[in-house]
């Protein structure tokens, strides 16, 4: 019987527990996490503030999860050091925990760049954790003027959560469009106008150069007064434990297809790692929940002596803003097919006889068919692509391929 230690308690960590237990019911699992809570779905912190969910319903797994999977938890405890020689981790209490195999699923942390005067702003927040959501909720009221720096996924999710509960919201981003790493110009403009109808204002292509207590001065010279400041400029992977232990780390922790790091018996999964993106043929950080889970599951199966490879990663995003939905996947290069009608928007990107990416906004029905074409690198001349472009449907596939789809 072995002892497996997991650092983290979110998508990557939970995937690894389920991966381990699919192979090995007996070995000891110890799960250690700084956050003192039962595992929860991080993207739902905005729904919590919006009143669309509560803490019970946002749990990522049922209350009995740790008991059912025979997992010993050390919650509210932070790992400060990994000793790869002695095969131990040290906790903030000074205590050490030994392991036979270790998984690092430490996620990422908000990155706040130095900005003049920021230290004097009293009511400033980040938006990554349940504690962040509670802190913001405790400070806002129906008259609050909120300034959000960052129009990416996290900044906009925060906007969605608080829009009905505050007086006004302004979002500033140096990019010239919202969700710059997810949407193209046209798609971003559609979503922006939808959000603006909720009374949210955007200052794009601009940035805060300094803060004077409750006022931000932008590069353009514009001044914005605020009561609450939310910083959602970006995130940085939590790599320090493994870096200090001597593992290979670029921007994220380097892992192979089995989710092993460069140190024997240490695995890594989730937002703290880099994965090989098959849509562009490069290693990059894919800080998304489904990726974190699948990497964790792969790591868990391999940790427990099974065999699984994580070899079909692509960036994928499924998100809603005030009930307006969008799904995107892959890379945006090659030939383009576009469809637009009212608030529905679709763009497909294909090259070398393969679909490499897509953006769907509004009507997102059967987007999974496009995702599957990308992930399976299906040659487009083996399907009725003209039909699939317009309507993703199984009839466009050969009988054999339809059977494969339906068997999944």
Ligand X SMILES: Cc1cc2nc3c(=O)[nH]c(=O)nc-3n(C[C@H](O)[C@H](O)[C@H](O)COP(=O)(O)OP(=O)(O)OC[C@H]3O[C@@H](n4cnc5c(N)ncnc54)[C@H](O)[C@@H]3O)c2cc1C
Question: Which residue from 38, 42, 177, 346 is in contact with ligand X, where contact means CB under 6 A?
Answer: 42
Question: Which residue from 106, 279, 298, 328 is in contact with ligand X, where contact means CB under 6 A?
Answer: 106
Question: Which residue from 8, 152, 330, 392 is in contact with ligand X, where contact means CB under 6 A?
Answer: 8
Using rule CB under 6 A, residue 79 touches ligand X = yes
Report in angstroms how near the CB of residue 33 gets to ligand X at its nearest. Answer: 4
Phi, psi of 59 (to 5 degrees): -60, 135
CA-to-CA dists, residue 91 to 29, 97, 370, angstroms? 16, 8, 45
CA distance 394 to 158: 37
Both tokens of 257, joined, read 């297809």
Using rule CB under 6 A, residue 314 touches ligand X = no
Q: How far is CA 233 from the centre of its chain?
A: 14
Using rule CB under 6 A, residue 71 touches ligand X = no
Report in angstroms how near the CB of residue 319 gets to ligand X at its nearest. Answer: 4
CA distance 406 to 388: 17
Q: Which of residues 371-400 bind ligand X (CB under 6 A)?
A: none
Question: Which residue from 58, 153, 169, 239 is in contact with ligand X, where contact means CB under 6 A?
Answer: 153
Nearest CB to ligand X, comparing residues 90 and 256: 90
Quick one: which segment of 29-37, 306-314, 369-377, 380-388 binds ligand X (CB under 6 A)? Answer: 29-37
Contact of 6 with 305, CB cutoff 8 Å: no
Nearest CB to ligand X, comparing residues 20 and 32: 32
Q: For the chain, first and last CA: distance in Å?
A: 33
CA distance 353 to 330: 15
Both tokens of 86, joined, read 């002695």
Nearest CB to ligand X, comparing residues 31 and 383: 31
Nearest CB to ligand X, comparing residues 303 and 396: 303
Contact of 121 with 211, CB cutoff 8 Å: yes
Nearest CB to ligand X, comparing residues 47 and 350: 47
Report in angstroms how near the CB of residue 48 gets to ligand X at its nearest. Answer: 10
Contact of 165 with 140, CB cutoff 8 Å: yes
Number of residues that bind ligand X (CB under 6 A): 37
Q: Which of residues 316-355 bind ligand X (CB under 6 A)?
A: 317, 319
CA distance 3 to 99: 5
Question: Which residue from 5, 20, 31, 105 is in contact with ligand X, where contact means CB under 6 A?
Answer: 105
Beta bridge partners of residue 116, listed in sequence order: 210
Using rule CB under 6 A, residue 127 touches ligand X = yes
Using rule CB under 6 A, residue 287 touches ligand X = yes
Nearest CB to ligand X, comparing residues 12 and 350: 12
Pick from 212, 198, 252, 14: nearest CA to 118: 212
CA distance 139 to 228: 8
Report in angstroms how near the CB of residue 77 gets to ligand X at its nearest. Answer: 7
Question: Which residue from 16, 27, 46, 144 is in contact with ligand X, where contact means CB under 6 A?
Answer: 46
Pick from 229, 218, 56: nearest CA to 139: 229
Both tokens of 394, joined, read 């199984």
Question: Which residue from 227, 260, 271, 277 is in contact with ligand X, where contact means CB under 6 A?
Answer: 271
Q: Dihedral of CA 358/364/370/375: which sign?
A: positive
The binding site for ligand X (CB under 6 A) comprises: 7-13, 32-35, 42-43, 45-46, 78-79, 105-108, 127-128, 153-154, 157, 238, 241, 270-271, 287-290, 292, 317, 319
């Amino acid at each position: 019987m072995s002892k497996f230690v997991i650092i983290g308690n979110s998508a990557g960590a939970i995937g690894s527990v389920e991966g381990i237990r699919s192979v090995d019911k007996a070995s000891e699992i110890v799960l250690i996490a700084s956050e003192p809570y039962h595992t929860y779905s991080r993207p739902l912190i905005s729904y919590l503030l919006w009143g669309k969910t509560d803490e019970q319903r946002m749990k990522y797994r049922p209350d009995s999860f740790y008991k059912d999977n025979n997992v010993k938890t050390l919650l509210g405890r932070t790992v400060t050091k990994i000793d790869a020689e002695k095969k131990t981790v040290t906790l903030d209490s000074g205590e050490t925990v030994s392991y036979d195999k270790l998984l690092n699923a430490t996620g990422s942390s908000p990155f706040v760049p130095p900005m003049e005067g920021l230290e004097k702003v009293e009511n400033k927040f980040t938006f990554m954790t349940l504690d962040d959501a509670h802190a913001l909720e405790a400070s806002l009221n129906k008259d609050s003027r909120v300034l959000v720096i960052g129009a990416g996924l996290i900044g906009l999710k925060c906007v969605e959560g608080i829009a009905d509960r505050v007086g006004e919201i302004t979002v500033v981003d140096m990019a010239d469009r919202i969700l710059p790493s997810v949407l193209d110009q046209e798609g971003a403009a559609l979503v922006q106008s939808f959000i603006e109808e909720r009374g949210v204002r955007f200052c794009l292509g601009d940035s805060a150069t300094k803060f004077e207590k409750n006022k931000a001065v932008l590069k353009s010279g514009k001044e914005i007064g605020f009561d609450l400041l939310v910083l959602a400029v970006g995130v940085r992977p939590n790599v320090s434990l493994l870096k200090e232990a001597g593992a290979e780390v670029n921007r994220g922790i380097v892992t192979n297809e089995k989710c092993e790091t460069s140190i024997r018996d240490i695995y890594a999964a989730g937002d703290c790692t880099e994965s090989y993106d098959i849509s562009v043929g490069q290693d990059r950080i894919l800080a998304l929940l489904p990726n974190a889970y699948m990497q964790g599951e792969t790591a868990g199966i391999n940790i427990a002596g099974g065999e699984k490879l994580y070899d079909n990663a692509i960036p994928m995003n499924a998100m809603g803003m005030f009930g307006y939905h969008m799904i995107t996947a892959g890379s945006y290069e090659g030939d383009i097919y576009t469809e637009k009608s009212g608030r529905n928007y679709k763009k497909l990107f294909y090259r070398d006889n393969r679909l490499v990416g897509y953006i769907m906004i509004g009507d997102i029905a059967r987007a999974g068919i496009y995702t599957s074409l990308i992930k399976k690198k299906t040659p487009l001349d083996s399907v009725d692509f003209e039909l699939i472009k317009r309507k993703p449907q199984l009839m466009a596939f050969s009988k054999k391929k339809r059977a494969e789809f339906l068997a999944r």
